[in-house]
């Protein structure tokens, strides 16, 4: 498993505890200026350089997170989105991931499972509904380019074996007993789950026109076109109960099966704050927006201290020697996590700075020195 790109350490410096205001701050030329000077904490002052108080160091670690992208590549993904400019749902999805994944792949271990399998060829039931028992790509840091390459070489085709895909992805997590941290599945689909060969096409809810897809008299493969209504919900619920929640995105084509996606999203324990509970995406732009929202939420900018500081109000957090504001409004900067007194949560542009930090970057929390606050 690759190590995190961001090296984070804590500097324990208790000698500054007697100060009742921040130490002198440096401008862009490196000249120290007083913290009380008007205007020095403007929009461009995050982060601002500060002198070091010295002291010993201990480890500060980013909370680990992994996400498996469970992506529908059924034949209907060749159909268009609702964009004015013609673009297939598949191309829109790949383009959205091309924008979003590189922004988070150093903060989240990303994996991929395509359904049906891109290695499924031909037209038999087993072929159009095949899901491999292994992931396409196991979660690792820095996986964005590998995932995007796999998507480019996997054009749409086949049915929608959602249950089998979810079972494989959830099973991977449950077998990886040595893993820690947050674990997620992100399901993106454009139709109703199907590929259940023992279904009764005379009574089932069909995932397409009944007279053609679910008519045994004219279609011997009719059973696989029956809607798989309950199994995906059960699999997602069991995974969430075991600590693997699921985000559900519904592309154009899922409207007739919104009730099923709604149940899946609720069972996955990561519903939207408003109705519907799943993420409806009709256009290429909406795909980018929703994927970015989900992945940046997963890539939470949280870092854990090995032990609480002597005084939580005397902690100055610095990235590569530059101080980051403490912002109790949670608009920008950092603050203590509400659910863990030993964790720091970063917000806004400060979170973006950490997500974009290079492999040589260093995050430090200096104990004993008060952090600068936003103007």
Residue 24 has pLDDT above 50, yes or no: no
pLDDT tens profile 75-94: 999 999 999 889 999 999 99
For residue 20, pLDDT over 80 is answered with: no
Please choose, from the candidates 135, 169, 170, 138, the residue with its C-alpha nearest in 3D space to the C-alpha of residue 241.
Answer: 170
Q: For residue 171, which of 131, 208, 230 has the smallest C-alpha distance? A: 131
What does the pLDDT average to over 228-232? Answer: 97
DSSP 116-160: S-TT--SSSHHHHT---SS-SEEEETT-HHHHHHHHHT----S--
Q: Are 228 and 207 in contact (CB under 8 A)?
A: no
| Residue-level pLDDT at 122 | 56
Question: The whole model's pTM is what?
Answer: 0.74
pLDDT in the model for residue 343? 84
Helices 231-241, 258-267: inter-axial angle, 10-degree rounding: 20
Instruction: Identify the three-state secondary structure at position 12.
Output: strand
Question: What CA–CA distance (Å, rounded) separates 222 from 135?
Answer: 28
Per-residue model confidence (pLDDT) at position 26: 34
| CA-based nearest residue to 326, from 308, 311, 314 | 314
Higher pLDDT, 114 or 57: 114
Nearest Cα to Cα of residue 97 among 153, 162, 157, 147 = 147
* CA atoms 164, 287, 297, 269: torsion sign: negative
What does the block give as tokens for 334? 């950092």
Read off the pLDDT of each residue in 302-309 and give the average, rounded to a whole number.
79
Quote the percentage of the chain above a pLDDT of 70: 79
Q: What is the pLDDT of residue 364?
A: 82
Tokens 């009380």 correspond to 36
CB 155 within 8 A of CB 90: yes
Give yes or no for residue 118 having a pLDDT over 70: yes
Q: How far apart are CA 124 and CA 77, in angstroms?
A: 19
pLDDT of 180 > 50? The answer is: yes
Give the lowest-confidence range in 68-72, 198-202, 326-330: 326-330
Query: Cα separation of 98 and 92, whole Å?
Result: 10
The predicted model gives 46-67 an average pLDDT of 60
Q: What is the pLDDT of residues 235-263, one digit of tens each?
A: 999 999 999 999 999 999 999 999 999 99
Structure tokens at 304: 């854990």
Neighbours of 216 (CB within 10 A): 12
CA distances from 98 to 104, 147, 175 (A): 11, 9, 29
Average pLDDT over residues 304-332: 84
322-354: pLDDT as tens digits: 889 999 888 888 999 876 778 888 887 888 787
Work out the mean pLDDT of the chain and round it to a whole number.
Answer: 82
The pLDDT score that the predictor gives to residue 349 is 83
- Region 297-316: what's the mean pLDDT? 81
Specify the residue for token string 């090995």: 306
pLDDT given for residue 139 in this prediction = 95
Q: Give me the mean pLDDT over the 285-292 stretch.
A: 95
How many C-beta neighbours within 10 Å does residue 228 have? 24
HSE-up of 56 (CA within 13 Å, CB side)? 1
Given pLDDT bands bounded at 50, 70 and 90, which one contains residue 203?
Answer: very high
Please tell me the least confidently modeled range out of 14-18, 158-162, 315-319, 336-340.
Answer: 14-18
The reported pLDDT for the residue numbered 52 is 56
- For the ranges 39-53, 99-113, 225-239, the lowest mean pLDDT is seen at 39-53
Res 67 pLDDT > 60: yes
Q: Interior CA angle at 356 toward 353 and 362, to 5°? A: 70
Q: What is the pLDDT of residue 4?
A: 38
Q: How confident is the model at residue 156 (pLDDT cuts 50, 70, 90)?
A: very high
**What distance in Å separates the CA atoms of residue 270 and residue 261, rounded to the nearest whole number?**
12
């Amino acid at each position: 498993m690759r190590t995190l790109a961001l090296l984070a350490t804590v500097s324990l410096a208790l000698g500054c505890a007697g100060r009742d205001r921040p130490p002198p701050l440096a401008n862009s030329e490196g000249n120290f200026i007083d913290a009380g000077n008007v205007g020095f904490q403007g929009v461009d002052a995050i982060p601002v350089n500060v002198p070091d108080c010295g002291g010993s160091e201990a480890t500060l670690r980013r909370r680990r997170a992994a996400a498996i992208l469970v992506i529908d590549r059924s034949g209907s993904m060749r159909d268009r989105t609702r964009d004015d400019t013609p673009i297939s749902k598949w191309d829109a999805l790949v383009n959205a991931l091309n924008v979003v994944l590189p922004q988070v792949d150093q903060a989240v271990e990303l994996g991929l499972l395509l359904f049906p399998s891109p290695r499924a060829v031909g037209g038999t039931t087993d072929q159009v509904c095949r899901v491999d028992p292994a992931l396409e790509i196991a979660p690792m840091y820095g996986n964005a380019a590998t995932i995007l390459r796999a998507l480019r070489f996997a054009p749409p085709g086949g049915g929608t074996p959602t249950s089998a895909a979810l079972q494989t992805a959830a099973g991977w997590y449950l077998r990886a007993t040595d893993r820690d941290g947050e674990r997620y599945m992100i399901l993106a689909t454009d139709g109703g789950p199907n590929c259940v060969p023992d279904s009764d096409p005379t009574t089932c809810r069909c995932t397409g026109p009944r007279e053609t897809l679910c008519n045994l008299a004219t279609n011997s493969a009719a059973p696989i076109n029956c809607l798989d209504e309950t199994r995906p919900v059960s699999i997602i619920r069991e995974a969430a109960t075991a600590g693997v929640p699921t985000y559900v995105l519904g592309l154009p084509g899922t409207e007739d099966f919104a009730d099923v996606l709604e149940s899946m999203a609720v069972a996955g324990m990561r519903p939207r704050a408003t109705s519907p509970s799943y993420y409806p995406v009709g256009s290429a732009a909406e795909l980018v927006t929703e994927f970015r929202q989900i992945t940046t939420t997963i890539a939470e900018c949280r870092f854990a201290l090995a032990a609480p500081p002597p005084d939580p109000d005397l902690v100055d957090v610095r990235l590569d020697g530059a101080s980051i504001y403490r912002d109790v409004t949670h608009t920008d900067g950092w603050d203590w996590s509400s659910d863990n007194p030993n964790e720091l949560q970063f917000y806004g542009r400060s979170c973006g700075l950490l997500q974009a930090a290079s492999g040589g970057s260093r995050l430090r929390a200096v104990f004993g020195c008060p952090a600068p606050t936003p103007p």
